[in-house]
Amino acid sequence: MEDGSLHPSIYMKIHGQPCLFIRNFQKTQASNSIPATVAFFNGVLQSHLGPPHQGSASPTVTPMPSKSVRVPSKKGNDIGPVFRSLFWVSSLMATAPINRVMVMMRCQNEMIKSGRLSYPYKGIGNCFARTVRNEGVISLLKGNTAHMMGFVTMKVIIRSDITKSFLSLFNYKKEKDSPVKKLVKVLAADGLSRAVTLFFIHPLEYAKTRMVNDIKPKSIFEKRQFNGIIDVFRKTLKSDGIAGLYRGYKMMYVAYFVRDVLFFVLQPKLLLQMLGLQYTMPTAIILGAGTPLLVDLITYPMHTIVHRMMMRSGEAVKYKSSIHAFSQILKNEGVCSLYKGASAQIIKSVVMSGISMMLLITLFKKNGINRKNGEDGCKGTIDII
């Protein structure tokens, strides 16, 4: 899943609540780091709108993204689930067409080699136009079912506290363990939980990738490669075995690890201190949207390699490993090929940030109205994960 990292930064794991660091993560996934962006905007809006009611916590914005946000709720009803549902459903549906175009741009050279695509796309606009012209507007949602299934699967695993179980296995003791022991145990639990999560998600990501790139043939005598997710699994298992469903697994694992490291290095507080800037509305918005986008662009080539390796399942010639795939792509196509579709990733990030901003502003405006009417507006808590 590219909508966000599967885990938070190492900083949050050690200095926060290590047993709950997956649940309280700010992306992925992939994503494109939606929770981190939302968390930044949450803090910014709270700081400028003031505390919901007298006696609440200080409105001062914490440099690190918050794990949950107190928002208005009428008559004490928890609107967190409503907010999450609105945000994720609207986000996944709104970015589905962009997602398909991005993956098609990434994998177009593989489709050309297999004979499924006659000539390359000239850009994301051309890819959109050709797809709509040949397959219709609804086809832009192709592969989104597998994507949403993977997303739901990830959320279920995250809420199962699998990392807490691994930390217990390593006899993690927050108060007694030394900093070095804490780091080692947290990293070990993190690695295992990430591996388990990817074990369940990767086949769905594979199915999404194959469905997205299963373009409609020009000839009326030709058929699409796959008739659905089950058909993708069935044909892949028949031709390549279980390995076909997990092609690119190691590189995907590395990509999420790199995201972890980058979010640790690019901590907002450290960045602002290094740049000598204050935590204001403009800087918070820039960091909230810019930092996750920067991380996405840095790890973009890794996801390109993963998807292109996936496209070789069922083909006669396959990449021997992720390193082999990287070297072959770099040698034959150049470094630019690793960033094909990156502009779609930028557009996707902007759309996600826009959706999060609109929902949050709507909620906080409602909070202001409730306060004027004398209603308690701080009984609901939004947990964006």
Question: Hey, what domains does the chain have and what are their CATH numbers?
Answer: 3-382 (1.50.40.10)
Share of the chain above pLDDT 90, in %: 41
- Mean pLDDT score across all residues of the chain: 77
pLDDT computed for residue 220 by the predictor = 62
Q: Which amino acid is at 353?
A: S
CB under 8 Å to 5, separation ≥6 — which residues? 25, 27, 28, 29, 30, 33, 256, 259, 260, 263
With a cut of 60, say whether residue 149 has pLDDT above it.
Answer: yes
Share of the chain above pLDDT 70, in %: 70
How far, in Å, CA of 272 to CA of 269, rounded?
A: 5
Length of the chain: 385
Residue 323 φ then ψ, to 5°: -65, -40
How far, in Å, CA of 298 to CA of 296, rounded?
A: 6
* Average pLDDT of the residues in 177-195: 84
Return the higher-pLDDT residue of 279 and 166.
Answer: 166
Residue 299 φ then ψ, to 5°: -90, 0
Cβ–Cβ under 8 Å, residues 307 and 247: no
pLDDT computed for residue 96 by the predictor = 94
pLDDT computed for residue 292 by the predictor = 83
Return the higher-pLDDT residue of 76 and 301.
Answer: 301
Look at 203-212, 236-245, 288-297, 301-310 and tell me which has the smallest mean pLDDT: 288-297
Cβ–Cβ under 8 Å, residues 41 and 382: no
Cβ–Cβ under 8 Å, residues 142 and 212: yes
Tens digit of pLDDT for each residue in 73-94?
444 455 566 667 777 788 888 8
Highest mean pLDDT among 53-62, 190-199, 325-334: 325-334
What DSSP string describes 118-177? SS--SSHHHHHHHHHHHH-GGGGGTTHHHHHHHHHHHHHHHTTTHHHHHHHHTT--TTTS
With a cut of 50, say whether residue 298 has pLDDT above it.
Answer: yes
HSE of 44, CA atoms in CB hemisphere, 13 A: 23
pLDDT computed for residue 182 by the predictor = 82
For residue 4, the SS3 value is strand
CA distances from 227 to 102, 235, 282, 321 (A): 22, 10, 47, 28
Return the higher-pLDDT residue of 324 and 21.
Answer: 324
Cβ–Cβ under 8 Å, residues 144 and 99: yes
Question: What's the start-to-end Cα distance of the chain, in Å?
Answer: 15
Look at 320-324, 350-354, 381-385 and tell me which has the smallest mean pLDDT: 381-385
pLDDT computed for residue 121 by the predictor = 95
User: What is the DSSP secondary structure assignment for residue 207, as one 8-state letter?
Assistant: H
Tens digit of pLDDT for each residue in 195-251?
999 999 999 999 999 999 999 877 665 788 999 999 999 999 999 999 999 999 999
Cβ–Cβ under 8 Å, residues 252 and 202: yes
User: What is the DSSP secondary structure assignment for residue 115, as one 8-state letter?
Assistant: T
Question: Residue written as tokens 């145990």?
Answer: 185
Query: Per-residue b/e over 267-301, b at no fewer than 16 CB within 10 Å?
Result: bbeebbeeeeeebeeebbbebbbbbbbebbeebbb
The two tokens of residue 67 are 């794990």
Of the candidates 134, 131, 136, the one whose C-alpha atom is nearest the C-alpha of residue 103 is 131
H helices of the chain, in order, are 10-15, 34-49, 80-114, 124-135, 144-158, 162-169, 179-212, 229-240, 242-245, 249-265, 268-275, 281-310, 322-333, 342-372
Cβ–Cβ under 8 Å, residues 215 and 131: yes
How far, in Å, CA of 297 to CA of 294, rounded?
A: 5
CB under 8 Å to 151, separation ≥6 — which residues? 1, 3, 29, 88, 92
pLDDT computed for residue 39 by the predictor = 46
pLDDT computed for residue 219 by the predictor = 65
Look at 115-119, 216-220, 299-303, 337-341 and tell me which has the smallest mean pLDDT: 216-220
